[in-house]
Chains A and B, each alone.
Chain A
Amino acid sequence: AQTVTQSQPEMSVQEAETVTLSCTYDTSESDYYLFWYKQPPSRQMILVIRQEAYKQQNATENRFSVNFQKAAKSFSLKISDSQLGDAAMYFCAYRGGFGNEKLTFGTGTRLTIIP
């Protein structure tokens, strides 16, 4: 079974600074997808960024980027120029190959932005 581990229950960062959230996963599959979702106090789960395992290039979405290390099974999220609106729980999630819609989530990292 696949597992996702987020070893940082809480992180904090000064506004405008950069922060990196860690995620490791375990799988025997070769085809899979990885996601970062954020969940603000409203509890709405919002997609931040996704990465296909077959793509070597790290995904980037504006201020958000990932460092995908397939051999190490590591998938960290870097948030640049942190903003107050980035404060939320961040969940790393794993999904198997095409057609397998089950998401396996990590336990989450609570990110606090310090003004």
Chain B
Amino acid sequence: KAGVTQTPRYLIKTRGQQVTLSCSPISGHRSVSWYQQTPGQGLQFLFEYFSETQRNKGNFPGRFSGRQFSNSRSEMNVSTLELGDSALYLCASSRLELEQETQYFGPGTRLLVL
């Protein structure tokens, strides 16, 4: 079974631009979560989607948004990029069933904002 895939793997943007990252979960997984990883702040939860609905949201500004499609694929968008948005963005999926709650991570998208 294929793992979680994320595209693109690397991105370079300039301040003020916007960016869209994509995540395809493992087949059969209905929940998708996003995390930001930086050297200074570590791993921080951005948001989680299930059945096209955002169920949980972390403490990030409104410039960070996401959505989930009917096939469970998810996208996250960052508008008006700032230098501090440079990070590794990780997507994780889970089946959301009892005894199957483990989140499995994709390889990440490395975003550099210049």
Contact = CB atoms under 8 A, between A and B. Distances in A.
Interface of A: 33, 35, 37, 42-47, 50, 91, 95, 98-105, 107-108
Nearest to A106: B42
B14 interface: no
Interface residues of B, number: 25
Contacts, number: 54
Contacts of B35: 103
A92 B107 CA distance: 18
Contacts of B94: 101
The 6 closest A-B pairs by CB, nearest first: A45-B105, A105-B43, A101-B48, A102-B45, A102-B56, A44-B107
A22 to B, nearest CB: 17
A45 B56 contact: no
Interface stretch (B15-23, B66-74, B77-85, B95-103): B95-103
